[in-house]
Structure 1
């Protein structure tokens, strides 16, 4: 399965950051993986224009569940599709925790993404406390069952496993821990979607760097990565992209 490397810029980047988009364009032609960059809303239009006539794809970090209306400060999936976005990150732990987004909200947003013809990258992952209690698989399973829309398929769905305790901390689960959760996710997808569940990409996220990417990508059912801080500089992101080849 061709790997997918997605960069989540979070609340980072200015107009000058478009130089990183330009640098990444040069990597896409020879890359052995698909590359997506998800900048903040303020940079999406410029990023789409910069990425034109290249294999670099632009995504977004969130969307509203409704197509339009009186929702001050929000952006709909339809608006993002109109701007040239092809992917949307949904259910990231920072949204689930800081904004109280539960599975129902993530599900509604995923339905919106599919309604607009976009690919939903749905994030799942346990906290340190939940892992210490031995509930990692249970928590991830609940998030999957509650967040994936009916009718989702391998063409419009990507799953990103991001243990909350590894995001931005420098901590990385052991290979055995990553493989255990990814294998469990694969089983759950196949139970729900049949053979098509074996084709859904499952990304790992959480302190992914060029130095640890080769080992992570060599694990069973790891089909790429959702990368945070290391995606902000093309020079560092390039090392992760190379590891996917």
Structure 2
């Protein structure tokens, strides 16, 4: 879906004379509804100069933290794309003028009474990001989201050692008996665990390790995991992660 630039919230304070037209910036926006959750998907073609990106940060009134300013062009574009997706999500809550700051661990600081999640991925040609935002008081479930490029399948295929980072030996044995192609399956499980980690952090304000999230099976378009007890959380719980793919990406949505 091509982007209607009027559908993306802009700051009214920015002097648009310094950015004569947004037409030459290839930005696409799509709203995806899955699991009762509205997810905003933003895609931005790679830019060639930091000055172009700085114009976009200012035009959309997106907070530009010092650690991101000092990073390279790709990291700056990833941050911008993620925050633009988050701004679109806040627009649905009539909070488009809110500025999303950055926490000590790099997490987005949402407005009061709002919870949300952001994920991004980039290739040499394109940066993609997804985000959602909900009123905390109206949310009976906590979601985490993740997006990964299908091109990463080749990375998993060439680097068997990376499996040990996010999978136990028992999980690797269980996955070996499932009728998925190995790189596709491992990338999918990695993304699903990333989404669980995000949902867990949003709900409990704790970071959980990959190895405490144990693969428990795949049924249809859901992956099931068993979460082991963490600190004061005594009950072992089972969570499920919905997955689907676009032309170039895999998206996972966890629910706790």
Q: TM-score scaled to structure 1, two decimals?
A: 0.32
Q: More strand by proportion, 1 or 2? A: 2
Q: More helix by proportion, 1 or 2? A: 1
Structure number with greater Rg is 2
Q: Which is bigger in relative contact order (C-alpha 8 A, separation at least 6)?
A: 1
